[in-house]
Chains A and B, each alone.
Chain A
Amino acid sequence: MSARERILARIGTAIGNHDAEIDAYLVEHPRGPAPALRDNLITHFRERALQLSSDVIEVAHPGEIPAQVAHYLAERGLPPRGACWPVVGSLPWGEANLEIAVRGANSQDMVGITGTFCAIAETGTLMMLSGPETPPSNSLLPETHIAILNTRRIVASMEDAWDLLRKEHKAPPRAVNFISGPSRTADIEQTVTLGAHGPYRVLIILVNA
């Protein structure tokens, strides 16, 4: 008998009689209690994102993004270079004197630019799906992560985000990453320090289009 069979046998003996509710429960996948939001989705999202130490900028048109990014980087003395996802590769980065390569980021890149699958107002969280056109590295390896988010893609809760995933994709991709602000650690003296192994700063650009 294999370890698998022995473990399953022990569990089976301990549990005794089964009620075969599994398939029905999976089909139903009921929601648990969720907190109600006070404000509208965009206001709530922005407030929570700021609390998590993300920076938030709003633009009316995608064409304004490169200038805003250039300004954000210059203000902080950061290099005007980085790597972006194909979905935002066609923005006029050059016009704002930015050198943005369209590819997955590597450890030398100081700035990573991505889109966002959707965002969760309840916690100010970005939801990213991995894929050939949406590599997770861009939101992970560079010290600055810039995420572009259409305000129409802000949902209330993580449950709503899962529904969106089920509707638009058959199955979850290899990695679903929920990002809530810059990476941090409180391991030394329980003192929160931003920039552990992931980005030091996260800029969310809300596009009201």
Chain B
Amino acid sequence: MQVSSIHFKRSVTEKLNDEKLQNALSRLQTRFVEGRAAVIGEIADFEETRTAAAAIRDRVLKNLDQWLLHFEQQAIARGALVHWAESGADVNRIVTEIATLHNVRRVAKSKSMVTEECGLNEALEHAGVEVVETDLGEYILQLAHEAPSHIVAPVVHKNKEDIADLFAEKHQLPRKTGIPELCREAREILRPAFLAADMGISGANFLIAETGSALIVTNEGNGRLVTTLPRVHVAITGIEKVVPTLEDVTTLLRLLPRSATGQSITNYVSMLTGTKDAADHDGPEHFHIILVDNGRSSLLGGDMQSMLRCIRCGACMNHCPVYQNIGGHAYGWVYPGPMGSILTPTFVGLENAPDLPNASTLCGACGVVCPVKIPLPDLLRQLREKQMSLGLKSWQEKLALKLWGWMARRPAVYAMVIKITVRILHFAGGKERMLHHLPGASGWTAGRDMPAPQGKTFRELYRQRKLS
């Protein structure tokens, strides 16, 4: 996927003025934020479970190469083929080769954010393979030629009227308006695509080292269909998704759906190991697993390592006041919200996403809700520091910070400068006691006035009151 994070600021203005998007985002808050709050109470030891989950993820990262090797060995022993991809281009090449090898013409795909990183659909179509996205949200986006705006609810930015129009146009059927009717129409259009597919492509929420299995969680059942009906199954996922045992994956499953959609468990949890036996009625004859690096190994051993704990639940974006106001597209790449503000600059370069580490109020909500306890606000702060040390800030910002730093270390100078400033601002506020313009902060005052200071500093008033 093309990275357009550089246009963050321009995009934000657009999104804030998009009334339809604003309505859609408030729905997300009700369903996901309140849903999560209601359902985490089912687990008395929610905090203890979060701590255990973080420990599981850290245990894997500490010995990631060994866990991957163990996983690979187990998966191969059960008849799967394991491929390693360093980049998105590698993924596209490997999948295209698999498609050619097995004479694949049609692909049914369930949701995978990793393949969004690679732009896999375009690559396959370029190679003459037809690809159908089967997750309802992703299918709608494929019809509309749009990118997902949320990692769990990809089409959150559209309302049912948009989707009704889109279906009527693309399906050439009478326009439906009820949500159940729209879902039924998509089901009936997509069922033949599942049946006709030669190859199914899925992600994997987890890889289990103990058994060599790929595990996927879905609600719609499309994940089960693409891994059951076609004769070839390709599972594509990040190298960090491996977990040691069935018990470990169970602990993580107690947190993932609760944090994501406020469900105790998703409708389907499917653990896939190896290929079908000759006597089996269904299942793929060929099972390929692609382990994707694409920048992940560069986080290991550094100050961003804890980001590799991420299990892609989306809770951080659901609870982020910035995401709640601008949605996912403004972030300009695959991953939005706080986790995206860390992953995007880390994967595609800080210079290509300079605004993202600053797209946060550091209110801390993301860190509080993260099921694997990633210190997201700390990581964002560290990226800001890195930006400064790499000289990626504007000269004005650097100068202002330098001046402030010099002043802050000299209390007498600081007191005097503030004293003079508040008096000037008091004078500028006039009778109205409001500032309509501030030099150097026109962006701030364009949308609102700033109340003028009343003329004295806090320190002056404090001293005065103490004396009287």
- In-complex Cβ contact of B63 among A22, A180, A191 (8 A): A22
Q: Which of these binds chain A: B121-129, B155-163, B357-365?
A: B155-163
B273 near A172 (CB under 8 angstroms)?
A: yes
B156 near A140 (CB under 8 angstroms)?
A: no
Q: What CA separation (Å) do A18 and B225 show in the bound complex? A: 40
Of A8, A21, A34, chain B has the most CB atoms within 10 Å of the CB of A8
With an 8 A cutoff between CB atoms, is B199 at the interface? no
With an 8 A cutoff between CB atoms, is A158 at the interface? yes
B136 near A185 (CB under 8 angstroms)?
A: yes
With an 8 A cutoff between CB atoms, is B153 at the interface? yes
With an 8 A cutoff between CB atoms, is A76 at the interface? no
B213 near A172 (CB under 8 angstroms)?
A: yes
Q: What CA separation (Å) do A131 and B279 show in the bound complex? A: 8
Q: What CA separation (Å) do A175 and B194 show in the bound complex? A: 18
- In-complex Cβ contact of B245 among A12, A29, A135 (8 A): A29
Q: Can you name the residue of chain A whose Cβ is closest to the Cβ of B291?
A: A7
Render B24-68 as a binary contact track against A, CB cut-off 8 A, 1 for contact: 100110111000000000111100110011001001011111111
Chain B residues with CB below 8 A from A31, complex form: 247, 250-251
Render A4-43 as a binary contact track against B, CB cut-off 8 A, 1 for contact: 1011101111111011111001100111111110000000
- Nearest chain A CB to B169's CB is how many angstroms away? 16
- In-complex Cβ contact of B90 among A3, A48, A107, A175 (8 A): A3
Render A46-87 as a binary contact track against B, CB cut-off 8 A, 1 for contact: 001000100000000000000000000000000000000000
A130 near B280 (CB under 8 angstroms)?
A: yes
Q: What CA separation (Å) do A158 and B245 show in the bound complex? A: 13
- In-complex Cβ contact of A132 among B90, B134, B281 (8 A): B281
Q: Can you name the residue of chain A whose Cβ is closest to the Cβ of B223?
A: A197
- In-complex Cβ contact of B180 among A6, A26, A193 (8 A): A193
Of A16, A36, A196, chain B has the most CB atoms within 10 Å of the CB of A196
Of A181, A185, A198, chain B has the most CB atoms within 10 Å of the CB of A185
Interface size on A, residues (CB 8 A): 73
Q: Can you name the residue of chain A whose Cβ is closest to the Cβ of B47?
A: A33
Chain B residues with CB below 8 A from A195, complex form: 180, 183-184, 187
A8 near B180 (CB under 8 angstroms)?
A: no
- Nearest chain B CB to A116's CB is how many angstroms away? 15
With an 8 A cutoff between CB atoms, is B253 at the interface? yes
- In-complex Cβ contact of B300 among A15, A178, A187 (8 A): A15
Q: Chain A contact residues: over half helix, strand or loop, or mixed?
A: loop
Chain A residues with CB below 8 A from B245, complex form: 25-26, 29
With an 8 A cutoff between CB atoms, is A186 at the interface? yes
Chain A residues with CB below 8 A from B298, complex form: 10
With an 8 A cutoff between CB atoms, is B222 at the interface? yes
With an 8 A cutoff between CB atoms, is A91 at the interface? no
Q: What CA separation (Å) do A185 and B297 show in the bound complex? A: 34
B49 near A32 (CB under 8 angstroms)?
A: yes
A196 near B84 (CB under 8 angstroms)?
A: no
8 Å CB interface, B53-90 against A: 53, 56, 59, 61-70, 78, 84-86, 90
- In-complex Cβ contact of B155 among A132, A137, A188 (8 A): A188
B183 near A198 (CB under 8 angstroms)?
A: no
Chain A residues with CB below 8 A from B265, complex form: 123, 125, 178, 180
Q: Can you name the residue of chain A whose Cβ is closest to the Cβ of B273?
A: A172
A183 near B228 (CB under 8 angstroms)?
A: no
A190 near B179 (CB under 8 angstroms)?
A: no
With an 8 A cutoff between CB atoms, is A159 at the interface? yes
- Nearest chain B CB to A162's CB is how many angstroms away? 4
Chain A residues with CB below 8 A from B160, complex form: 188-189
Q: Can you name the residue of chain A whose Cβ is closest to the Cβ of B187?
A: A197
8 Å CB interface, B190-231 against A: 190-191, 194-195, 209-211, 213, 219-222, 224-225, 227-228
B136 near A35 (CB under 8 angstroms)?
A: no
Chain B residues with CB below 8 A from A191, complex form: 179
With an 8 A cutoff between CB atoms, is B312 at the interface? no
Given A185-B219, A188-B163: A19 and B63 interface contact (C-beta under 8 Å)? yes
B224 near A136 (CB under 8 angstroms)?
A: yes
A189 near B159 (CB under 8 angstroms)?
A: yes
With an 8 A cutoff between CB atoms, is A115 at the interface? no
A198 near B280 (CB under 8 angstroms)?
A: no
With an 8 A cutoff between CB atoms, is B264 at the interface? yes
Given A103-B281, A196-B222: A140 and B67 interface contact (C-beta under 8 Å)? no
Q: What CA separation (Å) do A29 and B30 show in the bound complex? A: 38
Chain A residues with CB below 8 A from B276, complex form: 174
- In-complex Cβ contact of A11 among B64, B70, B153, B283 (8 A): B64
B183 near A188 (CB under 8 angstroms)?
A: yes
- Nearest chain B CB to A202's CB is how many angstroms away? 9
Chain A residues with CB below 8 A from B264, complex form: 48, 123
Q: What CA separation (Å) do A174 and B275 show in the bound complex? A: 6
B250 near A198 (CB under 8 angstroms)?
A: no
B residues adjacent to A (C-beta < 8 A): 24, 27-28, 30-32, 42-45, 48-49, 52-53, 56, 59, 61-70, 78, 84-86, 90, 134-137, 140, 153-156, 159-160, 163, 179-180, 182-184, 187, 190-191, 194-195, 209-211, 213, 219-222, 224-225, 227-228, 239, 244-248, 250-251, 253-254, 261, 264-277, 279-283, 291, 293, 297-298, 300-302
A-B contact pairs, 26 of them (CB 8 A): A2-B84, A3-B84, A3-B293, A8-B68, A19-B62, A21-B63, A31-B247, A32-B251, A32-B254, A33-B45, A103-B281, A132-B277, A132-B281, A136-B224, A162-B247, A172-B211, A173-B273, A174-B283, A183-B220, A183-B268, A186-B153, A187-B135, A188-B163, A193-B183, A195-B184, A197-B134
Closest 6 CB pairs of A and B: A198-B221, A104-B281, A32-B251, A14-B301, A196-B220, A14-B300
**Contacts beyond the supplied A15-B64, A26-B245, A190-B31: 16 A-B pairs with Cβ under 8 Å:** A18-B66, A25-B59, A26-B70, A29-B210, A34-B254, A130-B280, A173-B273, A177-B224, A179-B267, A179-B268, A184-B220, A185-B220, A187-B220, A188-B179, A196-B136, A197-B220
